[in-house]
Amino acid sequence: MLGSAIIVFREVLEAALIVAVVMGASRGAIGRGRWVSGGIALGTIGACIVAAFAGRLSDALEGRGQELFNAAVLLAAVVMLAWHSVWMSAHGRRLAEEMRRLGHDVVIGAKPLYAIFVVTALAVLREGSETVLFLYGLAAGGTGQFALIGGGVLGLAAGVGLGFALYRGLLRIPLRRFFTVTGWIVLLLAAGLAASAADFLAQAGALPALSPELWNSSAILSQSGLLGQILHILVGYQDRPSGIGLVFYIVTIVTVVALMRWVGGHRHDAGRASLAASNTS
Amino acid sequence: MQRLGLFLLTTALVIAPLAMAAPPEYTLIIKNHRFEPSEVMVAAGQKIKLVVDNQDATPEEFESHSLNREKVIPGRSKATIWIGPLKPGTYDFVGEYHEDTARGRIIAK
């Protein structure tokens, strides 16, 4: 039972932490709870479908189906997170200022909730399908139903609990810095997912690894440990990163920051102009 | 199945040096939630193709942090994983769904 709890915990953790970051970063948006719940529900249904067709998916595209599917899911999440970051670069500062002025969260309707919905659904889809397959294997392998359900529930609860703890932790960041800090976490999260996508493409033989192991810091901070795993999810830490993974990581950061600067600069001027206009009128 | 695996392995070992373009192929069998063989010797310094043949009825997830690889292999099916080029050394892997029994390592020379 403990064994199955640990595996379910590990699988759930990634989705739980991503949802926590997304929930934190979308603070103040109207109906975000509904969008996130919808994303979790859709992701869970999708995970069951993916698990049911795991065999066919694995055989598809000359045995590269699973890797290409994972890479596609990850890259789609990267695009959505990038969109969120770029949107925040245009609106985040004003949002934080208003929240500080009023002393509480303001509600805004225009936040990119589709992005939040899609990221949540994709995170649950990817990790959920592995959990479903694992539990299916246990059930088929004759583990007692009680142990199976008990372990699964325990692992799920622990994963969700850690996600919730992270969310509460994020909310303690002072408002002045809130969107800056969550913005950086979203950016690094996106970069880490892009690096994972690169590794899947290398595993499929679709991209060269460049170097399969740039360095090995597993003795300092192992990726198998809880802290290493959490940092892997949140900021893309890898104890033995590949060359192609690092390239994807850096390219993602540089691209998104450039877009943020560009859009943020433009919109900021526009925002100041409209603010000035409304003051004079 | 096992004979086929052995045949493929032998074929791969014979053909690989002849056809430089084709990367060497190694086969790993999962049976009763264990890897056979549990130690695979592979060539260092070149890309290799690892075929994992899951003969159990249940799915397994091949996972290796040291190789940066993870792949779910449904029951009674084969999966291909591209690895390397590796530096000489030892790389551990596990079957994540049965980590207590499904363990092995790749030794690159």
Q: What is the mean pLDDT of residues A241-267?
A: 91
Give A274's pLDDT tier (boundaries 50, 70, 90): very low
What span, in angstroms and rounded, lies between the C-alpha atoms of A151 and A14? 18
Residue A11 distance to chain B (closest CA, Å): 11
Its domain, for residue B7, covers 2-108
Distance CA A40, CA A20 (A): 12
The number of domains in chain B is 1
The rounded distance, in Å, linking the Cα atoms of A87 and A107 is 16
Size of interface A-B (CB pairs under 8 A): 91
The sign of the CA dihedral A195, B63, B37, B88 is positive
Q: Which of A121-130, A197-206, A264-273 has the lowest mean pLDDT?
A: A264-273
A191: tokens are: 């970069």
pLDDT score, position B17: 47
Residue A95 has pLDDT above 90, yes or no: no
Q: Which residue has the higher pLDDT, B38 or A269?
A: B38
Q: CATH number of the domain that B35 lies in?
A: 2.60.40.420
B61 vs A131, A242, B24, B81, CA distance in Å? 11, 21, 23, 12
Beta-strand runs (E) in B13-102: 25-31, 34-36, 39-42, 48-54, 60-64, 69-73, 77-83, 89-95
State the average pLDDT for chain A. Answer: 86
Looking at residue A29, the DSSP 8-state letter turns out to be B
Q: Are A134 and B85 in contact (CB < 8 Å)?
A: no
What percent of chain A is modeled with pLDDT above 70? 89
Please give, rounded to a whole number of angstroms, the shortest distance from the CA of A207 to a CA of chain B.
10
pLDDT tier for residue A180 given thresholds of 50, 70 and 90: confident
- pTM for the full predicted model: 0.82
How confident is the model over B20-43, as a mean pLDDT?
A: 90
A231 interface with B at CB cutoff 8 Å: no
Chain B within 8 Å of A183 (Cβ-Cβ)? no
